[in-house]
Structure 1
Amino acid sequence: MKLTYLGLALASLTGSVHAADLGATDDPIKLAVNEWTGQHVSTHVAGEMLKAAGYKVEYVTAGYMNMYQAMSDGELHAALEIWSSNVSDDYAKQVEAGGVTELGDLGLDAKEGIAYPAHVADMCPGLPAWEALKDCAQKFATAETLPAGRLVDYPADWGTPGADRMTGLDLPFKAVPAGSEGALIAELRASTEKGSPLLITFWQPHWAMSAYDVKFVDLPVGEEACFNDPAWGPNPNAVNDCDFAPTRIFKASWSGLADKWPAAAEILTNYTMSVEDQQPLMGQIDVDGQSVEEAVAAWMAANEATWKPVVDAATK
Structure 2
Amino acid sequence: MQKLSLGIALTALAGSVHAADMGAVDEPIKLAINEWTGQHITTHVAGEMLKAAGYKVEYATAGMMNQFQAIADGDIHATLEIWSSNVSDEYAKKIAEGNLVEIGDLGLDAKEGIAYPAHVAELCPGLPAWEALKECAQNFATAETIPNGRLVDYPADWGTPGADRMTGLELPFKAVPAGSEGALIAELRASTDRKSPLLITFWQPHWAMSAYDVKFVDLPAGEEACFNDPAWGPNPNAINDCDFSPTRIFKAGWVGMQDKWPAAYEILSNYALSVEAQQPMMGEIDVDGGSVEDVVAKWMADNEGSWRPVVDAATK
- Whether TM-score is above 0.5 comes out as yes
Letter in 1 for 2:11: L
Note if 1:109 corresponds to 2:116.
no
Alignment partner, residue 8 of structure 1: 11
Q: Would the alpha carbon gap of residues 90 and 310 (structure 1) be closer, same or farther in structure 2, given more than 3 Å must change?
A: same
Aligned residue pair count: 312
- TM-score relative to the length of structure 2: 0.97
Give the structure 1 partner of residue 297 of structure 2. Answer: 297
In 1, the alpha carbon distance for the partners of 2:232 and 2:69 equals 34
Task: Give TM-score, length-normalised by structure 1.
Answer: 0.97
For the Cα contact (< 8 Å) 1:152–1:178, is it kept in 2?
yes
Q: Which runs of 5+ in 2 are unaligned?
A: none
One-letter amino acid of the counterpart of residue 278, structure 1: Q
Secondary structure of the 1:9 match is helix
Structural mapping, 1:91-110, within 5 Å? 91-110=91-110
- Contact 2:42–2:80 under 8 Å retained in 1: yes
Q: How does 1:1-316 map to 2 (within 5 A)?
A: 1-4=1-4, 5-6=6-7, 7-10=10-13, 21-316=21-316
Amino acid at match of 1:224: E
- Residue 10 of structure 1: CA displacement? 4.2
- The one-letter code matched in structure 2 to 1:202 is F
The answer as to whether partners of 1:114 and 1:162 remain within 8 angstroms in 2 is: yes
Q: Give the SS at the match of 1:55.
A: coil
- For 2:165 and 2:13, locate their aligned partners in 1 and report how far apart those are by CA, in whole Å: 41
Provide the alpha-carbon RMSD of the alignment.
Answer: 1.4
Give the letter aligned to residue 139 of structure 2: K
Q: 1-side partners of 2:251 and 2:136: how far apart?
A: 40
Q: Quote the sequence identity (%).
A: 79
Q: Is the deviation greater in 306-315 or in 229-238?
A: 229-238
SS at match of 1:139: helix
- Unaligned regions of 5+ residues in structure 1, if any? none
Deviation string 1:148-190 (CA, Å, 9 cap, x unpaired) is 0000000001000000000010000000000000000000000
Structure 2 letter corresponding to 1:9: A
Residues 182-218 of structure 1: CA deviation (Å, up to 9, x unaligned):
0000000000010000000000000000000000000
Contact 2:34–2:63 (Cα < 8 Å) also in 1: yes
Shift of 1:8: 2.1
Q: Distance in 2 between matches of 1:87 and 1:282?
A: 22
SS in 1 for 2:301: helix
The structure 1 segments of at least 4 consecutive aligned residues displaced by more than 3 Å after TM superposition are 10-13
Q: In 2, distance between residues paired with 1:168 and 1:11? A: 44
Contact 2:14 / 2:270 at 8 angstroms: preserved in 1?
Answer: no
User: How far apart are 1:237 and its partner, in Å?
Assistant: 1.1
Work out whether residues 10 and 313 of structure 1, in 8 Å CA contact, stay in contact via their aligned partners in 2.
Answer: no
Contact 2:231 2:237 in 1 (8 A): yes
Letter in 2 for 1:272: A
Contact between 1:155 and 1:177, CA under 8 Å: does it hold in 2? yes
What SS does the aligned partner of 2:112 have? strand
Q: Kindly indicate whether the alpha-carbon contact (under 8 Å) linking 2:155 and 2:178 is maintained by their aligned counterparts in 1.
A: yes
Q: CA deviation at 1:12?
A: 7.6
Is the CA contact 2:115–2:216 (under 8 Å) kept in the aligned structure 1?
Answer: yes
Tell me how far 1:279 sits from its aligned partner: 0.1
| Structure 1 residues 229-269: Cα deviation after superposition (integer angstroms, max 9, x where no partner) | 11111111111000000000000000111000000000000
Q: Give per-residue Cα distances to partners, 1:75-108, cap 9 Å, x unaligned.
A: 1100000001110011111011000000111000
